[in-house]
Amino acid sequence: MPDSPTLAVCFGEGMVALVAAAAGPLEDCRTFHRSLAGAEWNTAIALASAGIRTAVVSRVGDDGFGRFLRAELRAHGVDDSAVQVDADAPTGLYVKELAPRADGAVDGTMHYYRSGSAASAMSPQTLAEPRTSALLAEAALVHTSGITPALSASALAAQESLLADRRPDSLLSFDLNWRPALWRGRVAEGKSVVSDFARRADIVFCTRPDAEAVFGTSDPQELRVLFPEPRYLLVTDSGGAVAYDGTERAESEALDAPVVETIGAGDAFAAGFLAGVLTGLSLTGSLARGHRIATRALVSTRDHVD
């Protein structure tokens, strides 16, 4: 359970993941396992597991899936009091199809069913609700991602409000999480939006493939030149990470650990790094903590750590 008085708030969509029980084509799978998913929610659970007091700001449907998600947050020590319940719109979900790999691990492919979800109706009013407003006023760190502004115009407005109204003594963390399918037909707009949020954040995470797709380069030094504004910039791939704190640079290799599936490892890594920053670790210490927590997301087909 969390043991730190420092509060981190994660803002974004939570979803139910229905994970195929066995690898193979979706049409052949008869059994699915239910679990919590959603980038910011995965990060929240991992932050709480690292001893950081954590809350989620979001919206779910007034349905069984929404109740399940809120219960899962509470079971992992995350404050769900600012997760609003929508009486009409459903909780979003996705189905994860698994394909076997030669090394014994599996690759996951996500099939999303989130259009018109309760979370897509997030708006500036969501942030103005009394409980949410109180949490944001107390938070030492707010974490969000490039997924949220892609959900709807109102969700984009909410994220814009989040950055515009944040306290000067709090940190804003932004994980690029580029999802081109969510920006279909407006990719140029999406790249502009996430680039703007990255420039205005204090801490930015991006994978090399996402950076290449959005910014045209995956080279960490070139990315630092393109984005000098964030204090911390982290560029990751399966082999490790390069991190900047101002002009200080550190590199680290991923820990040697068994891999079942990689989805969710980036969210866990971000949580470990953020926990390091919040508890006063050095840049290299925060990187090490990120890698340690990331290994816990690699050992199952769930998206979050236990």
Cα dihedral across residues 290, 293, 295, 298: positive or negative: negative
pLDDT of residue 258 exceeding 50, the answer is no
Least confident of 3-17, 119-133, 138-152, 272-286: 3-17
Q: What is the pLDDT of residue 181?
A: 87
Assign residue 284 the CATH number of its domain: 3.40.1190.20
43 domain residue, yes or no: yes
Q: What are φ and ψ of residue 99, in 5° steps?
A: -125, 130
pLDDT of 262 > 60? The answer is: no
- Which of 274, 298, 291, 249 has its CA nearest to residue 52? 274
pLDDT in tens, 205-241: 999 999 999 999 999 999 999 999 999 999 998 888 9
Average pLDDT over residues 156-182: 93
**CA 66/CA 119 separation, integer angstroms:** 11
The total of structural domains in the chain comes to 1
**Domain contains 22:** no
Predicted pLDDT of residue 151: 95
267 is catalytic: yes
The answer to the question of residue 28 being in a domain is no
Q: Is residue 254 part of a domain?
A: yes
Residue 273 scores a pLDDT above 60: yes
Domain containing 263 equals: 7-12+39-69+76-88+121-297
Give the model confidence (pLDDT) of 137-154 as tens digits: 999 999 999 999 999 999
Q: Is the pLDDT of residue 69 over 70?
A: yes
- The reply to whether 101 falls in a domain is no
Q: How wide is the angle at C-alpha 129 spanned by C-alphas 127 and 131, nearest 5°?
A: 100
Token pair 């107390």 in the structure block, residue: 138
The mean pLDDT value for 105-126 works out to 90
pLDDT at residue 253, rounded to an integer: 84
Range 21-33 average pLDDT? 92
Query: In this structure, is residue 227 part of a structural domain?
Result: yes
96 pLDDT above the threshold of 80: yes
* 24 part of a folded domain: no
Is residue 48 in some structural domain?
Answer: yes
Q: Which of 79, 86, 175, 267 is catalytic?
A: 267
